[in-house]
Amino acid sequence: MNCIQVILTIDTDNLPENFSEILKHEQKIVAEWKAEGILEHLFLREAKNGAVLIFKNLDEEKVKELVMSLPFYQLKKSVEYFNLMKQF
């Protein structure tokens, strides 16, 4: 199974006033991805400045398209993509 790890870091120094609304929208989208079976894991970063998402059975271009649709993408400081091969 191919997996793509995405490390999304948001700019916590410049959060908009409606951040809680944006967070709810973000949570809804990732819950839909989980229900669809394309999001394997979601890890929140301990520093509360982003997340690590593990997508499965998608190519990198599709993952980039999905990530760019996230509300948090507009708040990004950086986004990194890593193609992985699951061993077990």
How many domains is the chain built from? Answer: 1
In the chain, at which residue ranges do the beta strands (DSSP E only) sit?
A: 2-10, 39-44, 50-56, 76-85
Q: Residue 3 pLDDT > 90, yes or no?
A: yes
Say which CATH number the domain at 35 has: 3.30.70.1060
Sheet holding 39-44, edge to edge: 39-44, 50-56, 2-10, 76-85
Rounded to two decimals, the pTM is 0.92
Range of the domain at 75: 2-85
Tens digit of each residue's pLDDT (9 = 90 or more) over 30-77: 999 999 999 999 999 999 999 999 999 999 999 999 999 999 999 999
Q: Which two tokens stand for residue 87?
A: 């061993």
DSSP letter assigned to residue 66: H
